[in-house]
């Protein structure tokens, strides 16, 4: 079935379902306008639009239920653009909000960034619940649907190959935390009895020394736990990458993150992975192991080299 047929069918359904007369009328008028009717939910027709792309999957019908259900960035509908056996999850968005300048301004403010990131992730996640999906990096925006089709065609082989490779797998985060409170508490007492402090200054220094020693022990324990957990889950993991530890304000209060891995795991061994990680990570005071996910395979959808991103990240 051709893309146009499918899109028209969706448009009919939308027109029927919507009680909003304005939107219905607009959709109807778009249909009369025929070939451009693929992105019916727009501000006034002359308003320029952009196409925001969330991810890519196979064009096998799995994601059709997601289309037209809202839930995209800024509440825009999620739509499907199919080409070459692949389908892109997109939203039609107003250019005034998604052209370079407004988008950049938005991304540089944490609330705007968070909103966009969560919406992007929500669409990827919903798709991932139904089918293998390649998440695109945040804020991949095209000037029109034809451009998205061209992108799908241009990378068809690479995308298809990646989808095959990732099929049936989930990404799990494996994080190891050190609890700083355990370092400053009496969890690691000084091996030699502390001499009587002779002054507040000396007492302060002795206390600091004990704290430092406790912290060093804790770091060593965390390293050991990380190695142990990594070994424990090894058999269930198809691929793994180490992300930088999360040390910023967003992760404050969760302990200090010392290891932050992403693991590609066959979906049917996820439970085993969790059990192994939990077992290997338990029993060490002040060290905590956390498994996150399942995630869409963000960390294993290899970037397609295109030279448009200004080179590799400066890591």
Range 170-199, binding other proteins (CB under 8 A): 170, 173, 178, 180-181, 183-184, 198-199
> Residue 177 in contact with residue 258, Cβ under 8 Å?
yes
Minimum separation from the CB atom of position 191 to other proteins (A): 19
Alpha-carbon distance values, 147 to 61, 124, 152, 198 (Å) = 22, 20, 9, 76
Alpha-carbon distance values, 209 to 189, 216, 278 (Å) = 11, 11, 32
Q: Which stretch binds other proteins (CB under 8 A): 21-29, 30-38, 99-107, 228-236?
A: 99-107
Region of 118 (left: φ > 0; alpha: ψ -120 to 50; beta: rest) is alpha
> Residue 77 in contact with residue 68, Cβ under 8 Å?
yes
Return the bridge partners of 240, or none: 263
Minimum separation from the CB atom of position 283 to other proteins (A): 21
Minimum separation from the CB atom of position 10 to other proteins (A): 21
Chain positions 54 to 93 lying near other proteins, rule: CB under 8 A, are 55-56, 58, 60, 62
As given in the structure block, the two tokens for residue 182 are: 């355990």
Cα–Cα distance for residue pair 80/86, rounded to 1 Å: 10
Among 213, 219, 221, 239, binds other proteins (CB under 8 A): 219
What string marks each residue from 4 to 33 as x (binds other proteins by CB under 8 A) or -? ------------------------------
Chain positions 123 to 162 lying near other proteins, rule: CB under 8 A, are 125, 128-132, 134-143, 147, 151, 155, 159
Return the bridge partners of 176, or none: 259, 289
Q: Which stretch binds other proteins (CB under 8 A): 25-33, 39-47, 258-266, 278-286?
A: 258-266
Looking at the Cβ atoms of 128 and 281, the one nearer to other proteins is: 128
Minimum separation from the CB atom of position 7 to other proteins (A): 21
Chain positions 276 to 305 lying near other proteins, rule: CB under 8 A, are 292-295, 298-299, 301-304
Cα–Cα distance for residue pair 54/3, rounded to 1 Å: 19
Please list, in sequence order, all residues whose beta carbon lies within 8 angstroms of the beta carbon of residue 284, skipping any fewer than 6 positions away: 221, 224, 225
What string marks each residue from 238 to 257 as x (binds other proteins by CB under 8 A) or -? -----xxxxxxxxxx---x-
Among 17, 25, 69, 271, binds other proteins (CB under 8 A): 271
Looking at the Cβ atoms of 24 and 219, the one nearer to other proteins is: 219
> Residue 36 in contact with residue 132, Cβ under 8 Å?
no
């Amino acid at each position: 079935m051709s893309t146009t047929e499918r899109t028209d069918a969706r448009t009919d359904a939308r027109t029927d379902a919507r009680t909003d007369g304005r939107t219905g009328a607009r959709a109807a008028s778009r249909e009369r306008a025929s070939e451009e009717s693929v992105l019916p939910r727009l501000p006034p027709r002359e308003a320029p639009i952009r196409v925001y792309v969330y991810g890519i999957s196979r064009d096998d019908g799995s994601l059709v239920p997601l289309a037209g259900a809202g839930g995209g960035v800024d509440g825009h509908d999620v739509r499907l653009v199919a080409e070459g056996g692949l389908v892109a999850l997109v939203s039609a968005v107003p250019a005034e909000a998604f052209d370079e300048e407004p988008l950049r301004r938005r991304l540089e403010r944490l609330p705007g960034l968070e909103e966009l990131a969560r919406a992007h992730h929500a669409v990827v996640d919903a798709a991932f619940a139904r089918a293998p999906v390649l998440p695109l990096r945040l804020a991949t925006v095209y000037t029109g649907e034809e451009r998205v089709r061209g992108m799908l065609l241009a990378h068809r082989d690479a995308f298809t190959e990646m989808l095959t490779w990732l099929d049936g797998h989930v990404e799990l985060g494996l994080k190891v935390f050190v609890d700083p409170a355990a370092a400053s508490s009496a969890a690691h007492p000084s091996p030699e009895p502390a001499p009587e402090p002779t002054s507040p200054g000396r007492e302060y220094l002795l206390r600091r020394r004990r704290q430092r020693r406790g912290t060093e022990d804790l770091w060593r324990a965390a390293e050991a736990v990380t190695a142990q957990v990594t070994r424990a889950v090894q058999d269930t993991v198809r691929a793994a990458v180490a992300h930088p530890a999360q040390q910023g304000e967003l992760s404050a209060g969760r302990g200090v993150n010392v290891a932050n891995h992403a693991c590609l795991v066959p979906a049917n061994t996820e439970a085993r992975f969790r059990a192994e990680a939990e077992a290997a990570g338990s029993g060490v005071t002040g060290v905590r192991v956390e498994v996150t996910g399942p995630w869409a395979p963000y960390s294993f959808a290899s970037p397609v080299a295109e030279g448009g991103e200004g080179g590799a990240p400066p890591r």
